Structures are given as structure tokens and as C-alpha cells.
Amino acid sequence: MRHTPAYILTSALKSHLWQFYLDAEQPIEGPFITINKGTDAAKEAIYNLPADHPELKQMELINDFLKSHKWACKGPVRLAYNKDVVGGGRLVTPYQSLPDRRIRLRIRTLIDEQPICEVDYNANHLRLNLALLHNQHAGDTPYEDICDIAGFEHSRRAKIKDYVTRALGSGNNTLLQGALDSREKALRACNSTGMTTKEFETIEHATLKRFPKLDLYKGWGLHAQNLEGQILKDVMLEGIKKDIVCLPVHDAIAVQQQHQHWAKDVMLETWQAHVGGVRTKVKVDFP
């Protein structure tokens, strides 16, 4: 009987494979606006937009600009909707798939051979909800504020973020039973990450004590993604005017380090313009 030989990836081989992956490029070609799950009618509308549709022209402008530039996992930037154009439209590109938590790889890549940084919106979905729906500024340290009320060390900030993200994203209606069902879904999702029910309830109480107007368990997360995508798209368009490459990374923008101050100013101004002038906060992450 013949046996398939076993291969072990050595560190040296892994480094070569990573380099191959980073250098891989996808052609910058459409469609630049896509939809993941929608009805046949929704898909028909998205994939047959008229050539002069404003959003389509913006995405074409962004991708035409990016063609002549170089970055890791180069590929098109697309505006991807979830089920319809009302909720869930966000910017996606292969670059986003690079790991950057357990392995800080993405932040160590380059744009046009220059080191980068990522300018990140702080507690973005929470801030968008309060600003857009209630004209409320969330303060300088919303997650840390919740930590203090919950009696948690600030080192557990990530647990607060996990709860808020799931609580804002869970559900799709405002009916009482719908909200109760959505809360259960959020609880199960948090439990699956190792959060205990007691921790969930403690964080929930602290969150609502600090931000009583926050719309939890109503499925607002998709609307936040939509608005987030629109804001980042506008930042990228401003970058084109200055010949500055901006790459979308969820709720952040990757730029060359020499453009970090420009990126901070434009991101703050653009966010405020979308929410009626309420302030927000950004932070800069370096390799």
C-alpha cells in the first residue's frame, strides 16, 4: 500500500508562502458594487445599475485611482451590500483578510513601498447610534466608562466591545417580543465567546446606565455598517484629491505614515458631516 508522504511546514517555508500570498494580485475590475444574499429583484437592481449612477461612478473612480499603486494582497475595493441597499453596505477588499490580532501582519505591510499606519474610529457603532439617532456625543472613553460602572479593569475593554457589537447588531425590529428574542440571540453569541451570563448581565446593566438611549437588540448593526461604508468611501474620495492611497479596514483606514495627520483630520470631518456635527474620536495604530 502506498502512503501519501507527510510534509511539515518549516518556519522558512512559511515565510516564503506568506510572501507569495502578500504579493498576489487580483485584477482591478468590476463589478464594484455587489450584494450577498438579496432577492432576485435586489440582485437585478444592483448588478444593472445605470452607468451614470453616482455610487457606481464613485467606486469606479476609487478603483481607477488604485490601479497604479502597490499594496499587499492588491485587489479591487467593492461596496458590498448584505440583502438590500438599506442595510449592510460596506467596503470590502482582499487586504482586509490579512491577520492583525494574534499575528500583527497587516500593519507591517507597505503602500507604495512606504510603511503604513491605521487610523481607526473609536467605538464606532456605539458612537454612530448615539450621534445619528439621539444627537449625543459618547464621550472620550465610552468602553472604559462602561468598565468602571461594571467594576471591570480597563484591560477587559474588549469584552465590553464584544457585548456592545452583538447587542447593537442583534434583532431586526422594535417590538417587545422581537427585542426579547434578539437579546437571547445576543446572549448566546456572547456565551459562545466565553462570556458568562452573569458577565453579560453586568455589562448590559452598566451599558444602559452609562448610555440609556443606546438602541440595543434592534438590529441596528447593519445600518451602522452601511453608514460606516459611506463614511470610509468619502474619506477615500478625499484621498484621491490629494493623491493619497487609503485602504478600508472595517472601521479604519490604512495610509502611509506620512499621511496620518491628514487622515485623522479628514476622518473626523467626514464622520461629523454624516451625523450632523456630533464629534467622534480616532486613534492611530502603528507597527
For 24-122+222-285, CATH number out of 3.30.565, 3.30.70, 2.60.120, 3.30.530 equals 3.30.70
pLDDT of residue 208: 97
**Tens-digit pLDDT string for the chain (287 aa):** 555 555 555 555 455 555 656 777 899 999 999 988 778 888 888 888 899 999 999 999 999 999 999 999 999 999 998 776 665 678 999 999 998 888 899 999 999 999 999 999 999 999 999 999 999 999 999 999 999 999 999 999 999 999 999 999 987 644 444 556 899 999 999 999 999 999 999 999 999 999 999 999 998 888 898 899 999 999 999 999 999 999 999 899 999 999 999 999 999 999 999 999 999 999 999 99
pLDDT of residue 81: 87
Cell numbers given for 52: 451614470
Range(s) for CATH 3.30.70 in the chain?
24-122+222-285
pLDDT of residue 177: 47
Report pTM.
Answer: 0.88
Helices (H), the chain: 11-23, 40-47, 54-66, 124-134, 142-150, 157-169, 176-191, 197-210, 221-241, 260-274
pLDDT of residue 100: 86
pLDDT of residue 176: 47
pLDDT of residue 43: 84
Please give the helix or strand (H or E) that residue 210 lies within, else none: helix 197-210
User: From the CB of residue 9, how many other CB atoms can be counted at a distance below 10 Å?
Assistant: 9
Tell me how long the chain is.
Answer: 287
